[in-house]
Amino acid sequence: MDNEKLIKVLLNHTKSDIDITEESNLKEDLTIDSLTMINLILEIEEVFNIEVPDDELTEENFSTVESLNKLIVKCKFGKGVYNNE
């Protein structure tokens, strides 16, 4: 997965001046609120050419950069990519 691409997308939606890492929390560290999150999801779907199913729109999947990265890979390549799902 192209982390630089994801980080560029996240930078479009954050007001933070911090370095974004895999452990960065979207709400706390990047100050992404619910409205921003909707716009973020739309951009992720467009940039990565994926569709995030409604049942994947969970707080767990959108908690950190790492969890978001895993979700993108899962949507792009299917189940079983991480943790033998």
Going by pLDDT thresholds of 50, 70 and 90, the confidence category of residue 83 is: very low
Going by pLDDT thresholds of 50, 70 and 90, the confidence category of residue 79 is: low
Using the structure block, give the residue that is written with the tokens 């890492």. Answer: 21
- Strand-pair partners of 25: 64
- Strand-pair partners of 64: 25
Task: Supply the pTM of this predicted model.
Answer: 0.84
In 3-state terms, what secondary structure has residue 58? coil
In 3-state terms, what secondary structure has residue 6? helix
Structure confidence at residue 16 (pLDDT): 65
Going by pLDDT thresholds of 50, 70 and 90, the confidence category of residue 85 is: very low
In 3-state terms, what secondary structure has residue 35? helix
**Which tens digits make up the pLDDT trace of 42-66?**
999 999 999 999 999 999 999 999 9
Structure confidence at residue 17 (pLDDT): 76
Q: Domain 3-77 falls in which CATH fold?
A: 1.10.1200
Torsion of CA 21, 26, 32, 35, to 10 degrees: 130
